[in-house]
Amino acid sequence: MEICSWLCMLGASVYIFTVLRTPKDGCGYWHAALGALVGAFLYFLGYPGLCGGVALGCSLTLLHGSERRRELLPVQNRVVLITGCDSGFGHALAKQLSDMGVKVFAGVLDVHGAGAQQLRARGCANLEVLQLDVTDGSQIAAAHQCIRAQVRDAGLWGLVNNAGILHTVADAELHPLLLYRRIMEVNFLGAVNMCQVFLPLLKRSRGRIINVSSVAGEVPMPLLAAYGASKAALSSFSKALRLELSAWGVRVAVIQPGGFKTNIYGNSDDILTGISSETREDYGEEYILSLVSNMLKMSQQLSEDLSPVVDDMCHALLAVRPRPLYTPGPMAWLLPFLQCYCPTAVFDSIIMRILKNDNCEPAGLSRR
């Protein structure tokens, strides 16, 4: 009996380690999770040896499924359109895919900007830079016409909706409605428009749509209400789109990064001109101006290594079995985990400690 108990402990340990190292999605994971429940049931029935055997079997199932998900499709004749390639994730992805041999159309906000010039300077025959503001219907139509003329009946293999803005880190009350609209237009409506325009080409190739969301779209974060709301809308749209397009053979994946440094931040000074005198009095100009330094502090804590995000994007585009959700970065899975399993008061305390503006308090709080 003692040997059986040790076998059960060994099997459970291996299973837990495998679960922590394996993405939490796919049929293989859920089959293995069901097997783990069976193993626990056998243990409580007094069969620890069988429990250990089931746990080891679950681990093998997870490992086998993980290996199969690493299989990649050939890159020949694959054409991908990426938005937001001026910098950040889109810029890095355009470089990596073109180096792999994928034909890349890199959409940029400024075709004469530094990011666009860097891409053209590579002299890569399969990398073409396009002027593409995702809020401008005429630019989207021009990009569609250019790409359709080149891909013809083969269609477009991948659309990566990466373009996005955060603009400012501030309390929800301080964001002018104009900024809410602008962030929603770029982060959500721009991606929706891109999907609708390019889906006929994507359906021809039974291709892929990759929408870049954020952990802020799943987890409520102070000072990021406008950005988080736009990304939550994009994530919800993507999930519905994934279900609808399954009949067409088009895969939809969401990339939900957490904790990476890009050029997405804007200028918090702009909010001074968009708030009422009463709100300005409640918060005080000292607090509002402190948001700029707080934003700089937050950005300095982020990782400059974008490779985990770019690698997940490549996997979503080229894997034989892509995942519906990718969460690169420790915060991308840790914060949703804490939100799901911690009491609300505990989670609120944690997230406020991480993201609260420590530089200054609103002036009105001292008058209460």
Catalytic one among 15, 227, 265, 326? 227
Determine contact, residues 163/83, Cβ cutoff 8 Å. Answer: yes
pLDDT on residue 136: 98
Tell me the C-alpha distance between 12 and 201, whole Å.
Answer: 48
Burial class for 258, CB neighbours closer than 10 Å (0-12, 13-18, 19+):
buried
pLDDT in tens, 42-72: 445 554 555 555 555 655 555 545 544 568 8
Angle between helices 190-205 and 225-245 in degrees, nearest 10: 20
Distant-in-sequence, close-in-space partners of 352: CB < 8 Å, separation ≥ 6: 222
Condensed to tens digits (0 to 9), the pLDDT of residues 155-203 reads 999 999 999 998 888 899 998 889 999 999 999 999 999 999 999 999 9
Are 3 and 53 spatial neighbours (Cβ–Cβ below 8 Å)? no
The SS3 assignment for 22 reads: coil
pLDDT at 260 (0 to 100): 83
Collapsed DSSP state (helix, strand, coil) of residue 85: coil
What pLDDT is attached to residue 157?
Answer: 98
pLDDT the model gives residue 155: 96
Does 227 qualify as catalytic in the annotation?
yes
Find out whether 70 and 319 touch, Cβ atoms under 8 Å: yes
Please name which of 225, 231, 74 lies closest in space to residue 161, comparing C-alpha atoms. Answer: 231
Q: DSSP class of residue 253?
A: E
The pLDDT assigned to 362 comes to 84
Q: What is the pTM (predicted TM-score) of this model?
A: 0.80
- Is 360 buried (19+), middle (13-18) or exposed (0-12) by CB count in 10 A? middle
C-alpha to C-alpha distance for 132 and 140, rounded to whole angstroms: 6
In contact, 88 and 313? CB cutoff 8 Å? no
Q: Give pLDDT, residue 25.
A: 47
Beta carbons of 75 and 63 less than 8 angstroms apart:
no
Residues of the chain whose pLDDT is less than 70?
1-70, 264-274, 299-301, 357-359, 367-368
pLDDT for 4 equals 55
d(CA 264, CA 214): 12
β-pairing, 158-161 with 325-326?
unpaired
Give the separation between CA 249 and CA 246, rounded to whole angstroms.
5
Computed over its alpha carbons, how large is the radius of gyration of the chain?
24
pLDDT value for 27: 42
Q: Among positive and negative, which fits the CA dihedral 266, 170, 328, 214?
A: negative
- Helix boundaries (H) for the chain: 2-21, 27-44, 48-69, 88-100, 114-121, 137-151, 177-184, 190-205, 225-245, 277-283, 285-300, 307-318, 330-341, 344-355
Q: What angle do CA 243, 246, 250 make, to 5 degrees?
A: 120
Type of residue found at 276: S
